[in-house]
């Protein structure tokens, strides 16, 4: 019997982990739409749709366009995110709101818009990109850790809420991943080479995680092969949290 082509939406898929995930899903035969601020950067055959996950109307319109173009939806990857440094005292309320708007509420909005369509799928799956920082006391990351910790908790709650509808919900917790995000972080360091060496040494494996490694984990969790996997967090972190 011919297998139905899976249809996927990946937020933040114009760069880094999201782009690697969108490519891997597409290479595996899925039809993939990328929702991103920089949709113009998305290479074919991926379908780039401009969206700001911090804006509800933008998300609803983009999910609608994606579902129309793909003919339905099976997989949602909530991956768009922004960084934040500093302690609780360093970040004023508006900065807290900005990061939570993207990292937490972005996933809430996209999920809300996608759920009616996922209910029509026989292989519905949501995967959220969280972070080892949510589970590990990393100095100077209070706001980012709180945003990703909340997304982690939301993953479990959503898994419980939607399990009887046949919608699985999981997350990945990457370690430090070699993406443009880390390049930007290093650009701001006094000594970028020394900072890169420090980040590498922090991982028990002695190297940064690759975007392809995180993408492989996301694609597994999103695939029918993970049909009995829901409410879990998969660490792809070089052992930084577990060891
Ligand atoms: P990246 O900066 O390379 O890519 C992030 C993408 O998200 C970009 O294409 C950007 O345009 C998009 N984006 C940002 N804000 C958006 C918004 N409001 N609406 C729509 N799109 C938006 O970063 P990355 O390293 O690939 O990170 C992807 C995810 O992985 C993020 O959620 C990040 O928190 C998480 N993560 C990254 C690392 C790491 O070390 N790189 C580690 C753990 C978790």
Domain limits, the chain = 7-174+209-236
Distances (CA, A) of 123 to 52, 95, 102, 166, 189: 27, 37, 27, 8, 44
Q: In whole numbers, what is the pLDDT of the chain averaged over residues?
A: 96
The atom number, within ligand 1, closest to the CA of 208 reads 40
pTM over 0.95: yes
The pLDDT tens digits of the residues spanning 162-190 come to 999 999 999 999 999 999 999 999 999 99
- Judged against a pLDDT cut of 50, whether residue 14 lies above it is answered with yes
Band (3; pLDDT cuts 50, 70, 90): low
Distances (CA, A) of 174 to 32, 79, 89, 115, 160: 22, 11, 26, 25, 23
When pLDDT is averaged across residues 61-86 and rounded to a whole number, the result is 97
In percent, the amount of the chain with pLDDT more than 70 equals 99
What is the whole-number distance in angstroms between the Cα of residue 83 and the centre of ligand 1?
8
Band (1; pLDDT cuts 50, 70, 90): very low
When pLDDT is averaged across residues 24-37 and rounded to a whole number, the result is 98
Write the DSSP string, 37-91.
TTGGGPPTTSEEEE--TT-HHHHHHHHHHHHHHHTS-SEEEE-------B-GGGS
ipTM: 0.99
When pLDDT is averaged across residues 132-156 and rounded to a whole number, the result is 96
How many DSSP H helices and E strands does the chain contain?
8, 7
Which residues have CB under 6 Å of ligand 1? 11-12, 14-18, 36-38, 51-54, 79-82, 102, 129, 131, 174, 176-177, 179-182
What is the whole-number distance in angstroms between the Cα of residue 3 and the centre of ligand 1?
32
Residue nearest to atom 5 of ligand 1 (CA): 12
Task: For ligand 1, pick from 179, 196, 214, 218 the residue to mutate: most ligand atoms within 8 Å of CB.
Answer: 179
Query: How far is the C-alpha of 186 from the C-alpha of 197, rounded, in Å?
Result: 11
Structural class in CATH, domain 7-174+209-236 = alpha beta
Band (76; pLDDT cuts 50, 70, 90): very high
- Judged against a pLDDT cut of 60, whether residue 2 lies above it is answered with no
- Judged against a pLDDT cut of 90, whether residue 243 lies above it is answered with no
Report the SS3 class of residue 239.
coil
Task: For ligand 1, pick from 76, 133, 181 the residue to mutate: most ligand atoms within 8 Å of CB.
Answer: 181
Q: 231 near 169, Cβ under 8 Å?
A: yes
Q: 151 near 102, Cβ under 8 Å?
A: no
Band (4; pLDDT cuts 50, 70, 90): confident
Q: 234 near 221, Cβ under 8 Å?
A: yes
- The residues that are catalytic are 144
């Amino acid at each position: 019997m011919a297998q139905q082509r899976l249809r996927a939406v990946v937020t933040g898929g114009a760069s880094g982990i999201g782009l690697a995930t969108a490519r891997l899903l597409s290479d595996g035969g899925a039809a993939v739409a990328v929702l991103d601020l920089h949709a113009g950067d998305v290479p074919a055959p991926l379908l780039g749709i401009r969206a700001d996950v911090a804006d509800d109307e933008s998300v609803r319109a983009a999910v609608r366009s994606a579902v129309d173009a793909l003919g339905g939806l099976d997989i949602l990857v909530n991956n768009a995110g922004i960084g934040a440094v500093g302690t609780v005292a360093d970040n004023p309320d508006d900065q807290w709101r900005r990061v939570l708007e993207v990292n937490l509420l972005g996933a809430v909005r996209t999920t809300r818009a996608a759920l009616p369509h996922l209910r029509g799928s026989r292989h519905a799956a949501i995967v959220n990109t969280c972070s080892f920082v949510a589970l590990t006391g990393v100095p100077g990351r209070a706001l980012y850790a709180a945003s990703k910790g909340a997304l982690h908790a939301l993953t479990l709650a959503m898994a419980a809420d939607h399990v009887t509808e046949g919608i699985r919900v999981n997350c990945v917790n990457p370690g430090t991943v070699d993406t443009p995000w880390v390049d930007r972080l290093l650009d701001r360091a006094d000594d970028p080479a020394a900072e890169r060496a420090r980040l590498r040494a922090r991982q028990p494996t002695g190297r940064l995680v690759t975007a392809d490694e995180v993408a492989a984990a996301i694609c597994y969790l999103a695939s029918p092969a993970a049909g009995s996997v829901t409410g879990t967090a998969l660490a792809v972190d070089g052992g930084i949290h577990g060891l």
